[in-house]
């Protein structure tokens, strides 16, 4: 018997994972997680909630950082974190921009704009790192450098959240989406040691966030007002075959053709963008006469450029680049135009001199300086894309150009130009080529029927996957 009645302590659930992607994220032990997809999919909440659970399990060994490219971008993130962590008796230290948890763990919020920022964390023992909006990074190197600071118990974890679009669209798609678009499958990257590195893509859709939809039933309806059905699908479903902010929204599957034998009498052109630490790229184009070698009509109008070959690589010396270019061009004798920077002579042979020394052995034409006016060069490409029929076609066996041309983004500071921070090397080579072979002045641009800033990619991606041949060194 007792004099004190039993009573229940009322517990308040501050956060719990929703079934689906959030639940999988919380339970995922894999070192690298790509948590991407739709707007409103609950990605940020998922990461914050996981950290709330993990810090209780790890105690003082929990040492995490939540990164944004610029710290002011984390303002809303921090406010949401307070809603979750303060009821758990975490202490917010505003000057240090960090939470201290009762068990001794901490979560900091820091900027990660470039490699220099990443260097600041080398030598630290991080248990977890989260990078919000990874699509804002044209180059993922600052993110990869964080693995050097990941030394927590259990090996640690890096989580990237992202949506379709942005300057990082291309590398995120290649790494996380292309290997297994449906996600929820362990992927592997081969390391220089020969060992395999496991990582995973966890896709998130707006319908996975039932809490948001219950609180805001009109959210999806408002997204349907943003524009084209393709863009709505990108935002609702996280479809990476739609690229919001594309510099060439006119590009579509009609510009991609199956490889064929190019008629011998069609004039040939070669555009080349030099690179060593960054990729070099060369594209070969033929100008249609409207007929084949037997006089029969072809489905490509007179004056149309057909890009029939590409070559790209990184870390390849000038001699080897020239050898490969010349060997691929045997007996074609293309008009060759190149990045004007290769003609600079600074106290020694120019890059062009080195290339020409090799070309001479093959009797290959030398390069002349390309017209490097960017705006007019992009305009030439655009005018060819919008032709009806088009005046630019690309073989499906040129995946590097096909992957990077639609992913080329608009420069936010200079909207008439393309963003130079993304992979634009093959696009530059194409620009040089198109500036060398201008569109006939009598040709008239058709009426504009495109929504600038977005492009549907699914059709061309399917064709690329069916034609896996690459020419690279």
Mean pLDDT by 10 residues, the chain (473 residues): 48 89 96 92 96 96 96 95 97 98 98 95 94 93 95 84 87 91 92 94 92 91 75 77 77 89 97 95 97 94 97 96 96 96 88 96 96 95 94 94 88 87 92 92 43 44 48 49
Q: Does residue 16 form part of some domain?
A: no
Instruction: State residue 6's pLDDT score.
Output: 52
Q: Are residues 200 and 287 in the same domain?
A: no
Q: How far apart are CA 271 and CA 279, in angstroms?
A: 14
Q: How far apart are CA 456 and CA 270, in angstroms?
A: 28
Q: How far apart are CA 191 and CA 241, in angstroms?
A: 28
Chain position carrying tokens 């990874």:
134
User: What CATH number is given to the structural domain containing 354?
Assistant: 3.30.420.280
DSSP symbol at 367: E
Instruction: State residue 421's pLDDT score.
Output: 83
Peptide bond into 389 cis (omega under 30): yes
Instruction: State residue 234's pLDDT score.
Output: 75
- Torsion sign over Cα 66, 71, 77, 81: positive
Q: Are residues 81 and 221 in the same domain?
A: yes
Q: Does residue 1 form part of some domain?
A: no
- Is 235 within 8 Å of 223 (Cβ atoms)? yes
Q: How far apart are CA 429 and CA 376, in angstroms?
A: 14
Domain count, the chain: 2
Q: Does residue 373 form part of some domain?
A: yes
Q: Where are the beta strands (DSSP E) in 45-85?
A: 63-68
For the entire predicted model, the pTM comes to 0.70
Instruction: State residue 67's pLDDT score.
Output: 98
Could you tell me how far CA 90 lies from the centroid of its own chain?
Answer: 37
Q: Are residues 327 and 217 in the same domain?
A: no
> What are the backbone dihedrals phi and psi of residue 435, each rounded to the nearest 5 degrees, phi first?
-70, -25
Q: Does residue 6 form part of some domain?
A: no
Q: Does residue 471 form part of some domain?
A: no
Q: Are residues 178 and 267 in the same domain?
A: no
Instruction: State residue 230's pLDDT score.
Output: 62
Q: Are residues 38 and 124 in the same domain?
A: yes
User: What CATH number is given to the structural domain containing 131?
Assistant: 3.40.50.300
Which of 176, 211, 237 is at the close of a domain?
A: 237
Q: Are residues 197 and 291 in the same domain?
A: no
Instruction: State residue 454's pLDDT score.
Output: 42
Helix (H, G, I), strand (E, B) or coil at 139: coil
- Is 51 within 8 Å of 64 (Cβ atoms)? yes
Q: Are residues 307 and 357 in the same domain?
A: yes
Q: Are residues 309 and 368 in the same domain?
A: yes
Instruction: State residue 431's pLDDT score.
Output: 98
- Is 249 within 8 Å of 452 (Cβ atoms)? yes
Q: Are residues 428 and 281 in the same domain?
A: yes
Q: Are residues 181 and 329 in the same domain?
A: no
Which of 237, 263, 285 is at the close of a domain?
A: 237
Instruction: State residue 465's pLDDT score.
Output: 46
Which of 205, 237, 269 is at the close of a domain?
A: 237
Chain position carrying tokens 């005046």:
391
Instruction: State residue 468's pLDDT score.
Output: 42
Q: Are residues 213 and 267 in the same domain?
A: no
Who's near 436: CB < 8 A, 6+ residues apart?
269, 271, 335, 337, 370, 371
Q: How far apart are CA 190 and CA 434, in angstroms?
A: 37
Instruction: State residue 241's pLDDT score.
Output: 73
Q: Where are the beta strands (DSSP E) in 263-403?
A: 268-273, 280-287, 305-313, 335-338, 367-369, 392-395
Instruction: State residue 458's pLDDT score.
Output: 47
Helix (H, G, I), strand (E, B) or coil at 208: helix
Could you tell me the residue range of the domain that residue 147 belongs to?
21-237
Q: Are residues 276 and 135 in the same domain?
A: no
- Is 270 within 8 Å of 283 (Cβ atoms)? yes
């Amino acid at each position: 018997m007792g004099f004190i009645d039993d009573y229940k302590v009322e517990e308040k659930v501050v956060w719990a994972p929703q079934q689906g992607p959030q639940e999988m994220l919380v339970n995922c032990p894999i070192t690298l997680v790509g948590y991407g997809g739709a707007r409103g999919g609950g990605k940020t909440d998922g990461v914050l909630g996981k950290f709330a659970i993990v810090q209780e399990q790890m105690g003082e060994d929990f040492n995490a950082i939540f990164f944004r490219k610029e710290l002011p971008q984390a303002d809303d993130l921090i406010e949401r974190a307070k809603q979750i962590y303060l009821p758990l008796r975490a202490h917010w230290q505003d000057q240090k921009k960090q939470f201290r948890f009762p068990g001794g763990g901490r979560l900091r919020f820091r900027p990660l704009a470039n490699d220099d920022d990443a260097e600041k964390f080398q030598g630290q023992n991080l248990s977890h790192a989260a990078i919000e909006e990874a699509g804002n990074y044209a180059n993922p190197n600052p993110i990869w450098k964080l693995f050097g600071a990941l030394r927590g118990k259990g090996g640690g974890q890096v989580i990237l959240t992202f949506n379709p679009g942005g300057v990082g669209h291309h590398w995120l798609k290649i790494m996380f989406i292309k290997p297994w678009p449906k996600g929820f499958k362990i992927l592997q990257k081969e390391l220089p040691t020969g060992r395999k590195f496991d990582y995973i893509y966890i896709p998130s859709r707006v319908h996975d966030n039932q809490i948001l939809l219950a609180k805001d039933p009109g959210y999806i309806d408002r997204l349907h007002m943003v524009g084209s059905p393709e863009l709505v699908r990108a935002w609702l479903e996280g479809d990476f075959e739609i690229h919001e902010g594309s510099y060439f929204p006119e590009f579509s599957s009609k510009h991609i053709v199956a490889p064929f034998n190019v008629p011998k009498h069609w004039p040939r052109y070669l555009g080349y963008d030099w690179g060593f630490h960054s990729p070099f790229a060369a594209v070969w184009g033929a100008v249609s006469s409207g007929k084949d070698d037997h006089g029969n009509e072809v489905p490509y109008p007179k004056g149309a450029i057909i890009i029939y070959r590409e070559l790209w690589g990184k870390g390849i010396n000038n001699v080897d680049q020239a050898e490969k270019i010349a060997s691929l061009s045997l007996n074609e004798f293309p008009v060759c135009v190149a990045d004007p920077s290769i003609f600079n002579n600074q106290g020694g042979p120019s890059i062009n001199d080195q290339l020409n020394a090799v070309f001479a052995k093959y009797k290959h034409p030398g390069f002349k300086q390309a017209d490097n006016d960017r705006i007019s060069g992009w305009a030439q490409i655009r005018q060819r894309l919008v032709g009806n029929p088009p005046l630019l076609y690309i073989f499906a066996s040129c995946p590097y150009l096909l992957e990077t041309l639609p992913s080329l983004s608009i420069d936010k500071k200079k909207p008439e130009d393309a963003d130079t921070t993304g992979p634009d090397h093959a696009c530059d080579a194409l620009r040089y080529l198109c500036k060398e072979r201008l569109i006939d002045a009598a040709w008239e641009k058709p009426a504009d029927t495109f929504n600038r800033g977005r492009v549907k990619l699914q059709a061309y991606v399917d064709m690329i996957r069916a034609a896996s041949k690459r020419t690279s060194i």
